[in-house]
Structure 1
Amino acid sequence: MDSGDKASKYKGQGSSLLLVLVNALCFSLLQAEPIRVLVTGAAGQIAYSLLYSIAKGDVFGKDQPIILVLLDIPPMLPVLDGVVMELQDCALPLLREVIPTDKVEVGFKDLDAAILVGSMPRKEGMERKDLLKANVAIFKTQGAALDKYAKKTVKVLVVGNPANTNCLIASKSAPSIPKENFSCLTRLDHNRASSQVAMRCGVSSDKVKNVIIWGNHSSTQYPDVHHAKVNVHGSEMAAYDAIKDDAWLRGDFISTVQLRGAAVIKARKLSSAMSAAKAICDHMRDIWFGTKEGEFISMGVYAGGNSYGIPEDLIYSFPVQIKNKTWKVVDGLSINDFSRAKMDATAAELVEERDTALDFLSQ
């Protein structure tokens, strides 16, 4: 082999090496930066059902690395250590780090998303005002921590009950974060309503769209199917036409959805966990990736500027559509007298909750 052939050989190897290096650099640049996701009440049963789905990419995307921050109270830290071990043992490629903590300055630092599951549960003999007072203290602290430590773009989902009012307190305690970044979970109620309609029609739940949960995540909520559609044998029709039982839709259907949480507790001796975790995933995935064209879902959001006559300084569940991580209340839906009365009743409960909570907040 002469010197020219040797030069040609090494030149070819150099080009191949350069190509490999360029490809490696491009691949590293394409790798998304990890996002920081906080779950509070992380040693509890809802979180136990939730964390795996987040860590394996079901919520924020199959190519989105995650740093999971797990916050709970000091007595729960030993349990949290077990949760961390299990997450490690799942060997999930997207899960870059798990940070267990009981300190807000660690838990709320540089967050992209916060899922506030932990709250004071109602105990036997506890009046509602006592429950509100305990939770005002919790969500005032967490709102202030969001304000001080989290990114201003953080998306905050409040799950812990009373979810609507807890969400309002957290938002008021974080004045530098837009109110629109806060929402509370009524997707579980939405999913319950969709499932009841689907079972009644003998179709799968993905054949039902545009049910609405109005108002509070409580027994006063109003599950509304006046605008819902059901796909039966390839033909889309109004839910009322598909079901053909107005008495059921205005009676047992509503009470079944309103009281479903209590029914689960009576049967399981524990509150909803698997279904709540699924609803949290649905809610956050829709915030991140948007709702389907022509469809809306239910979320508790700030009522400012709504077109439905709902008092503005509330977190109230509306039908919303989401695009570019921004929700918009679906306007212009016709509201009959039956619906109006239900919507106003749940709003009245929220006003009473808000006023009680704000009294505690000012103390």
Structure 2
Amino acid sequence: MAEPINVVVTGAAGQIAYSLLYQLAAGSVFGPEQPINLRLLDIPPMMEVLQGVVMELDDLALNLLREVTPTADPAVAFKDAAAAFLVGAMPRKQGMERKDLLSANVKIFKVQGEALDKFARKDVKVLVVGNPANTNALICSHYAPSIPKENFTAMTRLDQNRAQAALAARLSVQVDRVQNVIIWGNHSSTQYPDAHHALVHLPTGAKPVPEAVNDDAWLNGEFVEKIQKRGAAVIAARKMSSAMSAAKAAGDHMRDWWIGTRPGKWVSMGVVSDGSYGIPKDIVFSFPVTIKDHQFKIVQGLPINEFARAKLNATAKELEEERAEANSVLEQ
């Protein structure tokens, strides 16, 4: 069996982490042959709660889980980390402006970026889950200059999973029969869930989703809006934000990054833009990617129609505004 790897989860006493930790410990993310040491980071007031989480991890009696370290010290958490799930972030509260939210998160992700830079492996894979995830990933990368920018990603897999499930329901097929749905842009209400390049596998064979749905008005209207607003709908119904589905998506994202995507399939990840599809460079933007040997590549050459171009431009503009606001905080 392989040597254990160190895996960091921040906000480890929170709801998303509570659903994520079992996946990690059970081997469903890094594989059934990969032992792990969990490094659980949270703020000092949460240490007592975290001790309860550690008890439960012990009580799982899982052979892949070798060590569990609860800590409020980023230096301890990120030491020799191979993978990091940055779940903890300042949540947006009622009446809070986006700049206020970014200001609070700059402080959090500055500390974590500096700790990654100083203590983690240089090939560490960093997934930012805490919102605003795209810009938090950009901030974190800024403070970890010795780690390649492509090692910092933001989670849009939850949006992809939501879109895939909505299309499967519309087409009355199992969810795994739908593939290559794309989430473009920001993990926000400006994101563009794009089904125009997706396929559905029917008993008669593979078919483009737009052809199978046969309702462009629905694909460009109700479908897009449903996915953009799904997080808010969950909060309205549950009185709390998505946790179980977010944790599943975080596991999906890291598993594909670690193990790779299947031939002919792509997934959506927020990555530092290289200018593909005319997107401004150096914002963290969700693209379709394929992954092999722990390295992702943006899928190139997909036709972008006028409707899609307007959506991509709108979400890119929002990310540029977030970057400018974050930079103004950094300069203070």
> Structures share a fold, TM > 0.5?
yes
Determine the C-alpha separation between the residues in 2 that align with 1:325 and 1:83. 30
Deviation (angstroms), 1:294 = 0.4
- 1:259 pairs with 222, 229, 232, which one? 229
Determine the C-alpha separation between the residues in 1 that align with 2:138 and 2:206. 38
The residue aligned with 1:189 is 159
The residue aligned with 2:139 is 169
Determine the C-alpha separation between the residues in 2 that align with 1:122 and 1:222. 22
The residue aligned with 1:97 is 67
CA-to-aligned-CA distance 1:210-236 (integer Å, 9 cap, x gap) = 110000000000000110001122411
TM-score for the superposition, normalised by structure 1 = 0.91
Deviation (angstroms), 1:307 = 2.5
Give the SS at the match of 1:277.
helix
Deviation (angstroms), 1:117 = 0.1
Determine the C-alpha separation between the residues in 2 that align with 1:59 and 1:162. 24
Give the SS at the match of 2:277.
coil
CA-to-aligned-CA distance 1:19-41 (integer Å, 9 cap, x gap) = xxxxxxxxxxxx21000000000
Give the SS at the match of 1:153.
coil
CA-to-aligned-CA distance 1:151-185 (integer Å, 9 cap, x gap) = 10100000000000000000011000000111000
Aligned length: 332
Determine the C-alpha separation between the residues in 2 that align with 1:181 and 1:269. 34
Determine the C-alpha separation between the residues in 2 that align with 1:151 and 1:56. 23
Moved over 4 A (4+): none
Deviation (angstroms), 1:124 = 2.0
CA-to-aligned-CA distance 1:101-123 (integer Å, 9 cap, x gap) = 00011011100000000000011
1:313 aligned partner, one-letter code: D
The residue aligned with 2:323 is 354
- 1:293 pairs with 263, 279, 284, which one? 263
- 1:235 pairs with 205, 209, 214, which one? 205
Matching of residue 310 in structure 1 with residue 279 in structure 2: yes
The residue aligned with 1:135 is 105
- 1:106 pairs with 76, 88, 93, which one? 76
Determine the C-alpha separation between the residues in 2 that align with 1:313 and 1:124. 30
- 1:345 pairs with 307, 314, 329, which one? 314
Deviation (angstroms), 1:127 = 1.2
Larger radius of gyration: 1
Is contact 1:69-1:101 (8 Å) kept?
A: yes
- 2:185 pairs with 209, 215, 231, which one? 215
- 2:305 pairs with 336, 346, 363, which one? 336
Give the SS at the match of 1:100.
strand
Determine the C-alpha separation between the residues in 1 that align with 2:235 and 2:4. 37
Is contact 1:210-1:296 (8 Å) kept?
A: yes
The residue aligned with 2:117 is 147
TM-score for the superposition, normalised by structure 2 = 0.99
Is contact 1:187-1:298 (8 Å) kept?
A: yes
Determine the C-alpha separation between the residues in 1 that align with 2:24 and 2:204. 33
Determine the C-alpha separation between the residues in 1 that align with 2:10 and 2:39. 8
Determine the C-alpha separation between the residues in 2 that align with 1:214 and 1:122. 22
Aligned residues: CA RMSD: 0.6
Is contact 1:140-1:361 (8 Å) kept?
A: no
- 2:219 pairs with 245, 249, 253, which one? 249
The residue aligned with 2:6 is 36
Determine the C-alpha separation between the residues in 1 that align with 2:126 and 2:15. 20
Deviation (angstroms), 1:83 = 0.2
Determine the C-alpha separation between the residues in 1 that align with 2:91 and 2:286. 21
Deviation (angstroms), 1:313 = 1.2
Deviation (angstroms), 1:125 = 2.1
Task: Give structure 1 stretches of 5+ with no counterpart.
Answer: 1-30
CA-to-aligned-CA distance 1:274-314 (integer Å, 9 cap, x gap) = 1001101110000111001001000000102x330000010
2:244 aligned partner, one-letter code: M
1:166 aligned partner, one-letter code: N
Determine the C-alpha separation between the residues in 1 that align with 2:110 and 2:282. 17
Please show how residues 75-90 of structure 1 align to structure 2 within 5 Å.
Answer: 75-90=45-60
Give the SS at the match of 1:115.
strand
Determine the C-alpha separation between the residues in 1 that align with 2:78 and 2:255. 21
CA-to-aligned-CA distance 1:231-279 (integer Å, 9 cap, x gap) = 1224110101111111110100000000000000000001001100110
Is contact 1:211-1:223 (8 Å) kept?
A: yes
Deviation (angstroms), 1:126 = 1.4
Deviation (angstroms), 1:362 = 2.0
CA-to-aligned-CA distance 1:167-209 (integer Å, 9 cap, x gap) = 0000011000000111000000000011111000000110001
